[in-house]
Structure 1
Amino acid sequence: MGADAEIGALLRGARCAARYTQAQVGKACGYSASAVSRIESGKLRIDYPTLLKFAAFLRIAPEQLRASAVPGMTNLATVAGGCRSDEEDEVRRRELLTGVVAAGATAVVGASPASAAAAPVNLDVALFRLPQAEPMPLPQLVEQIAAARRDYCATQYARLGQVLPGLIASATATRDASTGWIRQEADLALARSYVLAAELATKQHSDAAWVAADRALAAARCSGIPVAVGEASRQLAIAMRRSGRSTAAVHLLTKEAEDLDASHDHTGAVRTTLLLTGAYSAATGRDRSTALSLLDEAEQEMERHPAVPGLFTVEATRTQVDAYRISVLNALGTPDEAVKVAARLNVDRMPTAERRARAWTDVARMWNALGDSKQTFAALRRVEQEAPQEVRRPALRALTAGLLYGPTRIEGVREFAARTGALVA
């Protein structure tokens, strides 16, 4: 869900909770009922003062606005004031990443209300204040990173957040104390630990994804291993896309894909994944021709090379290509075209809980865009079955709130909203 759509969903949920009509909200904020409808659907962008006016009338706390931005405050600022210069963006990122503005990242994704305060990990701060660590034997470091990756794939985000700062510190110390080929392997380990940090920061809607991805790419290039460069480039492109720079993200992904030797299975699989991410990035920028072209290219690449387990958190399989096709068609505003894809999608074939939950999330968004509340809720329930921590993410809480306060009464939604944090007190 883009920033405009997610802010719109938050406004709609608050309006329905307050039992206001779109006409009443529009009158209070100086808009027509049809304009309010477009704002709530993410089709009309409003400036920051107007957003604050809506929030004040609907009694939405600033913290909720920050938590619902994608990612963090960067996209909220994009919604508020249009495009900024690169220099302004860089200043803003530095402020965010050094903790001046936390953008809601102090809460661990998926933590229960009772435990969230007990074990928060603010990656915005943690990446700049790594703990002291000693070098460790390379096999031990590799195994710890593999264990952290398993936590991510199992959606154990709270536990991952606790171990990542120390893991990155250990990888850095090991790299700095090494020479020769061992240093190259340590650079690879460090790159992959930062990739995991970028993945988690993205889940948290935190701008720490920028710095983690940048550091991952620097370490990957030092390792000289193309697979690692592809992994890190993908994360950097995701951070770019989520801050509204879809075109730049597509350029980075396609350039990295071109540079890979696709004749080998490993690099061919990486290339498939880069093309899939590029397709979705193009779709978020409403570039239909590029998005569909990259999707088709990824599918052809996937057919030429078998999936290679362990390269990415995303596997280069037909099932994954279908899941991406649904997300691309959702982003392009043509969810009706995704229905037949969803009908053949076998989510159970995906190897990790994180990927299965993501696929059901895209299916939920598809049905929501088509106005089918019951099918939307059924898909959200599948997300919860696969990964309880996923349904507490801001984007899914907004989707749940839309069902809770929408016109269709659905049995079980209120209880679902209560346990996932979407119920407005």
Structure 2
Amino acid sequence: MSVYAATALSSTQIGALIRGRRNARRPKMTQVQLAGKLGYSASWVCRLEAGELVPSWDTILRIAAILDIPPYELTTTTHPPERVPIRDTESPRRAAMVAATVAQGAMEDQGSQEDAVRRRGFLTGTIGVGAAMVTGAPAAATERTSVDPATSLESGLFRPPASQPHSLGQLGQALGRAREDFRRARYVTLGAELPVLLAAADATRESLTGHSKETANALAASAYSLAGELAIKQRSEIAWVAADRALAAARASGQSAPLGEATRMLSVAMRHAGRHRQAADLLLHTSQQLADDPTPQAQAVRAAMLLSGGYTAAHYGDRTTALAMVDEAEHIGRCVNHIQSFKEVTAHATRAQCDGFRLSIFNALGAPDEGVAVIRRISPHAFPTAERRARLHTDAARTWHQLGDYQRTFASLRAIEHEAPEEVRRPSVQALTTDLLYCPVSMPGLKEFAARTAPHS
């Protein structure tokens, strides 16, 4: 049954507003209680507050009545958008992608030649983020700040650009630049460039045989795993697609490290879907298979899998398993020399990054008091990339928020913006910002911060 999107607010803003009002009630209303009043499951309310679905108009009115939210706060806009039929459970980004596709169709003829030049340039290194920063890239690169990275990636996965085979060296260099985009939290640029890289990787591996084909499959697996990382950052369900393609390419490569990283990405997608135990079991089983591979690359991936597994186990309350997996990962990090030099994984099992995962675990377990001690012993300077430092500040913000320390929560959010401005626009971080807007404490600069860091329309 179709309903109409009758709101100008994004799904993330709606979800954050609902969460803020629910938490502000005295006594506080839980997600389970709100779900019971609505006749939905608690997981449905969780997805709603995370901005992963758009409720029907009738449901919006019921929520507004239950939480004493004036309906105009959820629906009023100076310039109401045209009503577009969407399904109640359909991802709002899907609708955004359709609109972007329609707009793109009108521009394809005009921009096709420039796009072809940009694709060649990205893969040969003549155009890329570094060059764009220095020389001033074409308008298409400098005007991306308003593009949703998930929309760009989704369009690229399902409507890939045409590409010719490239050399393995070119693919490796392009993959390296894409990883650098991720490490620096340049997600808009990464979302625009990844479809080009993925299409080139697929075309290349289809053209090769033997050992070269295996190497191309390993590069493709790494590229699709990186696409999964970006999709998870944006709370996009296309993480499933990216993880599935990464696994297929990794199996074809016959290499354990790409297979382990692709499996880790699949487990993260499973975790975000609420399948916590299955995700943890998958990680534990695959990490045990990697235990017999002594290479630093395989052990780096195994350590990253254990870190993800520990955080996943915390989501279903298994404290012992969660902390034990992080301890094992830290042990691997101490034993394997130069483990941090392996760039295919996002998180390395250094002492600082293992502590970062312990902080995430305490947040997931609802034990923020224990997280405070972790925050005090971690130095952000021990984290090698802007993306990892922003992750640390995000976890700190969640800890302070759970403790009701709104001033420190706001300070952590500002630290995220300082380290990686695009991180602060992520849906989960936006939810924290919106919650602060409804907290009982007045904080100078908060409204300006919220306006400045809101996702571009």
Same fold (TM over 0.5): yes
TM-score range, shorter chain: 0.7 to 0.9
Secondary structure of the corresponding residue to residue 316 of structure 1: coil
TM alignment of 1:290-369, pairs within 5 A: 290-306=321-337, 307-309=339-341, 310-369=343-402
| In structure 1, C-alpha distance between the alignment counterparts of 2:216 and 2:396, rounded to whole Å | 39
Q: 1:262 to 1:300 in 2, by over 3 A?
A: farther
Shift of 1:339: 1.0
State yes or no: 1:35 paired with 2:52: no
- 3-state SS of 1:313 partner: coil
Does the alignment pair 1:276 with 2:279? no
1-structure distance, mates of 2:433, 2:91: 28
RMSD: 3.6
1:28-87 CA-to-partner distances (Å, cap 9, x unmatched) read xxxxx44369869xxx9376689642157453659xxxxxxxxxx9xx96xxxxxxxxxx
- 8 Å contact from structure 2 (residues 394, 412) kept in 1: yes
1:258 aligns with 2:288: yes
Verify the 8 A CA contact 1:266 1:308 in the aligned structure 2.
no
- Quote the offset at 1:272 in angstroms: 1.1
Q: Within 5 Å, give how 1:7-406 maps onto structure 2.
A: 9-13=16-20, 22=25, 33-35=27-29, 45=42, 52=60, 53-55=62-64, 57-59=69-71, 61=74, 99=94, 115-116=145-146, 121-260=151-290, 261=292, 263-306=294-337, 307-309=339-341, 310-406=343-439
Pair 9,351 (structure 1): closer, same or farther in 2 beyond 3 Å: same
TM-score by length of 1: 0.78
8 Å Cα contact 2:300/2:345 also seen in 1: no
2-side partners of 1:229 and 1:357: how far apart?
A: 27
Local SS of the residue matching 2:151: coil
- 1:257-304 CA distances to partner (integer Å, 9 max, x unpaired)? 000125332222221110000000111122222212212222222222
Residue 117 (structure 1) shift: 5.4
Contact 1:249–1:278 (Cα < 8 Å) also in 2: yes
- Cα displacement string for residues 220-240 of structure 1 (whole angstroms, at most 9, x for unaligned residues): 111111111111111110000
Contact 1:105 1:204 in 2 (8 A): no
Alpha-carbon distance in structure 2 between the residues aligned to 1:414 and 1:113? 26
CA positional deviation for 1:127:
0.9
Tell me if structure 1 keeps the 8 A contact 2:225–2:242. Answer: yes
After superposing the two structures, state which structure 1 stretch, 383-392 or 278-287, moved more.
278-287
Which one-letter code corresponds to 2:25 in the other structure? Answer: Q
Deviation at 1:354, TM superposition (A): 0.5
CA distance in structure 1 between the partners assigned to 2:370 and 2:208 by the alignment: 53
TM, length-normalised to structure 2: 0.73
Q: Report how far residue 135 of structure 1 moved.
A: 0.2
1:417 and 2:450 are equivalent in the alignment: yes
Contact 2:181–2:187 (Cα < 8 Å) also in 1: yes
- The secondary structure found in structure 1 opposite 2:369 is helix
- Deviation readout 1:291-343 (Å, 9 max, x if unpaired): 12212222222222232321312122111100000000100000101111111
- From the superposition, tell whether residues 167 and 61 of structure 1 become closer, same or farther in structure 2 (CA, over 3 Å): farther
Superposed CA offset, 1:386-418 (max 9, x none):
000010111111101111221111222111111
Which of 1 and 2 has greater Rg? Answer: 2
Are the aligned partners of 1:105 and 1:123 in contact in 2 as well (CA < 8 Å)? no
| One-letter code aligned to 2:283 | L
What is the percent sequence identity of the aligned residues? 43
Structure 2's unaligned 5+ residue stretches are 1-11, 35-40, 46-54, 76-85, 102-140
Within 2, Cα distance between the matches of 1:236 and 1:245? 11
Does the aligned pair in 2 maintain the 1:131–1:166 contact within 8 Å?
A: yes
Larger mean Cα displacement after TM superposition, 178-187 or 253-262: 253-262
Tell me how far apart the structure 1 counterparts of residues 92 and 446 of structure 2 sit (CA, whole Å). Answer: 36
